[in-house]
Chains A and B, each alone.
Chain A
């Protein structure tokens, strides 16, 4: 195993060397950094050209200059990487250090949402193959696939940001919207749940009634201006989550698991006031992290306390329920921050921003307000990337699950009388997840490249912006710095995907053979 990992890392090093060599030379040939100086009429033009040539070592031919660059980059191994100087005289490493977290935040959020949503919808389409839901989702997936991201971005800016901000000035939801949202939600849930004609219409009516009345209540109470969940709603939702998670993971028939997850849901709500006290008095990521640790530990103990046999699935159910219900408490905290956030001068009741990764004139020391500010700035770019990314996941999850459902072991599982839930969740879903996990990791690297356009549309100062700046300004070191980071992430992600594949699928052994 160790030998396999080392050999693969060696190959990755060679690949990085080769591709950076190709790009360095292509980029060096296609642009002359002194071109704009040559055209200038500055009296000390020749001096400027000479100093730029000396600083960027332009007198060395590109293939050799590449090795000078490489020598600096290899300083990574002794802790002193040197990505060279940008044209403006600043160290490329410093610009990268600012840009990397920005891009990673965007890519991570977008990949996560795209994967979760896409896999869920993909699975439902596979289970309802050839239904109306399947056809409409297939169409939507193809449509999203074909959308240029910059086009979607302009539409989102116009309709989700500007119009929504205008709407918030006077949040009266018109009657036609209430009915419309109800109709769409009824159609969605009725097609997802399916069943006989009677079930279909009952589901339709229920979904219609619930969503229309929710929307109506939101409109009447001004919820959008001052949203909150409150302990009672959190309790109701948590109990729902407890039942849902238990049903999906082990089935409601397992009373121990149901009791454990209900206890965890209850505990999350009981902790509502103390947790909010901690949020207010000790704000920060550390506090949230510590409480998450306490929560998961508690969930493990509760799971163990309620179970005698078959403990692992019960503990797992308790943990999932606990994390989901606790996220509701966290969500509620963010909702409580919404009103003070909107009242700040920098926001002034226009909360959805169209550009930038954070509000520069927002002066606040409040951890929650600044977190919420980052979240609102993430909203549109993440949505644009998610919309386009999740189409691929829908198709892939659907195809994989259909393939798995045709396997002999699924027929065996059904034949020995397992419930449909067990067949789908234990036998089919898990085997679908093996290729999905590897695609997810590899895709994460791919999205970094795709985020370039998104960053440029939303004026984020991430790595994409740096790369474009490097190309426009003939700034070779800057471009190569960005490329080095993205390429390293890409090859590492593929490597991790390979390892993950062999870890998840026992049929694949690494290290054996060649």
Chain B
């Protein structure tokens, strides 16, 4: 009994050192960035999500006419704009509804209409506007609001967090008490208050204001990282070498904390798009005539039983964006985590064991 157990444990140690050997060999001679990139691209879900989000961004921003700096008009590839009022499509729709989607994904030989978009792939709303154009416009709005909130929150959170964690003392106490105040106010309340008053000034302005209230969680996290990193030897070394505080913060500590920050910012982004859609849904976010995904759902939720496509497509885009960002965040977390061990496949393990045995035999 004893003998068997000890043998098992010896075996498991060997396997462990074998795994270490495989892992170490893989990262030999690579820079940190290369290691992270390599690990990220091995996370299949994260790569699929990255492709999805890039596709959505390109599709949303090229489909409609786009004004570059407000002057040059870049024409979009889609034939309708959200302002066009084409005739409502009657007939061919189930349950005597009008303006149903013309998209068809079922090939002809399976009894479908053949793969094609048709004139209104996502259908039409009650006055005939092309729903694909509306959804693209809404996606543009929601994406840009998300990026602005995320960018504002990241900038503010990193600045406040790093000053607080680096200088400590009185500055830290004041800033962190301020963060405590802000964290107690639910974002949805402050968002509603701001949205009610400033929603009509445009989505961009609203996003900037919301960004002013979304940075608190990140700043606490960055502060924690800075508190531990500033005690490390490389910071002392930099200081002895005569680096200024600014240089130490931006060139020495921040790059070491970047993994935690990036992961947290991606989660913040997916939170931001859900916040924007929720605010627009209860009427405190983006207001008509502007379009956002949350607003579309809120406008057409009552027609769910009769014309469900008006409800499905905006929701599908919100979920795809949020889900992709969450998966990218997960992939980044794995990629930046130094303790992260990849699952070693059976074959690799056997190969390495055989190699080791051969090496031992040579000795």
Name A's B-contacting residues (CB within 8 A): 14-16, 18-19, 22-23, 26-27, 30-31, 130, 139, 142-143, 145-151, 154, 158, 162, 415, 448-450, 452-453, 456, 467-468, 471-472, 479, 482-483, 486-487, 490-491
Contact = CB atoms under 8 A, between A and B. Distances in A.
Contacts of B297: 148, 150-151, 154
Given A31-B196, A158-B304, A456-B282, A147 B319 contact: yes
Given A453-B188, A453-B278, A483-B189, A154 B301 contact: yes
Contact of A22 (B9, B182, B315, B330): B182
A296 B151 CA distance: 55
Contacts of A491: 184
Given A15-B180, A30-B196, A148 B274 contact: yes
Given A16-B184, A18-B181, A150-B298, A23 B322 contact: no
Nearest to B1: A417
Given A148-B318, A491-B184, A472 B194 contact: no
Closest 3 CB pairs of A and B: A449-B186, A146-B322, A30-B197
B279 to A, nearest CB: 9
Nearest to A139: B45
Contacts of B330: 142
Given A148-B294, A150-B298, A467-B192, A130 B343 contact: yes
A468 B184 contact: no
Contacts of A149: 278
28 contacts: A15-B177, A15-B184, A16-B184, A19-B182, A23-B185, A23-B190, A130-B343, A139-B45, A143-B323, A146-B323, A147-B319, A148-B278, A148-B297, A150-B297, A150-B298, A151-B311, A154-B311, A158-B304, A448-B186, A449-B186, A450-B188, A452-B186, A453-B278, A453-B282, A467-B189, A471-B196, A483-B185, A490-B184
B124 interface: no
Contacts of A18: 177-178, 180-181
Interface in B4-34: 9
B80 interface: no
Centre residue among A452, A467, A471, A491 by max chain B CB count within 10 A? A471
B277 interface: yes
B141 to A, nearest CB: 15
Q: Classify chain B: how many residues form its interface, as a range.
A: 35 or more
Centre residue among A15, A147, A151, A487 by max chain B CB count within 10 A? A151
B230 to A, nearest CB: 20
A415 B326 CA distance: 38
B193 interface: yes
Contacts of A487: 184-185
Given A154-B311, A158-B304, A467-B192, A19 B326 contact: no
A409 B184 CA distance: 38
B281 A449 contact: no
B226 interface: no
Contacts of B95: none
Contacts of B258: none
Given A16-B184, A148-B274, 20 more contacts: A23-B185, A30-B196, A139-B45, A142-B327, A145-B323, A148-B318, A150-B297, A151-B297, A151-B311, A151-B315, A151-B318, A154-B297, A154-B304, A448-B186, A452-B189, A452-B282, A453-B188, A483-B186, A483-B189, A486-B189
Nearest to B326: A142
B105 interface: no
Interface in B178-212: 178, 180-182, 184-190, 192-194, 196-198
Nearest to B194: A30
Given A142-B326, A146-B319, A30 B180 contact: no
Contacts of B197: 30-31
B284 interface: yes
Contacts of B274: 146, 148
B244 interface: no
Nearest to B196: A471
A22 B196 CA distance: 17
Contacts of A467: 189, 192
A30 B200 CA distance: 12
Contacts of A490: 184, 186
A151 B321 CA distance: 15
B55 interface: no
Given A130-B343, A143-B319, A449 B187 contact: yes
Contacts of B315: 148, 151
B185 A468 contact: no
Contacts of A15: 177, 180-181, 184
Nearest to B276: A148
B360 interface: no
Contacts of A456: 282
Contacts of B305: 158, 162
Interface in B315-354: 315, 318-319, 322-323, 325-327, 330, 343
B270 interface: yes
Contacts of B198: 30
B192 A468 contact: yes
Given A26-B194, A483-B189, A490-B184, A146 B326 contact: yes
Centre residue among A146, A150, A486 by max chain B CB count within 10 A? A146
A23 B178 CA distance: 13
A452 B196 CA distance: 16
A148 to B, nearest CB: 5
